Amino acid sequence: MTERSQDAAATRGGAVALSHADPASAPRVVAKGYGVAAESIVREARAHGLFVHSSPDLVRLLMQVELDRQIPPQLYRAVAEVMAWVHGIENNDQRNSAQIP
């Protein structure tokens, strides 16, 4: 990614969708885009009950990964932290719904 592309990513608002369907391998980039495409990715994620995490720096890095490719080892930790955050939210939601009579 060029410096110009990185600047564009910061100003136009990008979005990246990851899939971790195969726990034996690293997450894959399944969608990415800027502007209207980014808005569509976020809208579809929310419509399907998926959590959306905002991290412009991580998005900027993930935009460099080709579609349908696994994230590189350099991003494992950052992505794992987001996945742990989502897992915590999901567990909290399950506990709260179990307590509702």
Would you say residue 5 has pLDDT above 90?
no
- Work out the burial of residue 32: count CB atoms within 10 Å of its CB; fewer than 13 is exposed, 13-18 middle, 19 or more buried: buried
pLDDT score recorded for residue 64: 97
The token pair at 14 is 């990008």
Domains in the chain, number? 1
Which domain does 8 fall in, by range?
A: 3-99
Which one, of 40, 29, 18, lies nearest residue 69 by Cα? 29
Query: How would residue 38 be classed by pLDDT, with cut points 50, 70 and 90?
Result: very high
Query: How would residue 85 be classed by pLDDT, with cut points 50, 70 and 90?
Result: confident
Residue 59 vs residue 7, higher pLDDT: 59
Domain with residue 93: its CATH number is 3.40.1690.10
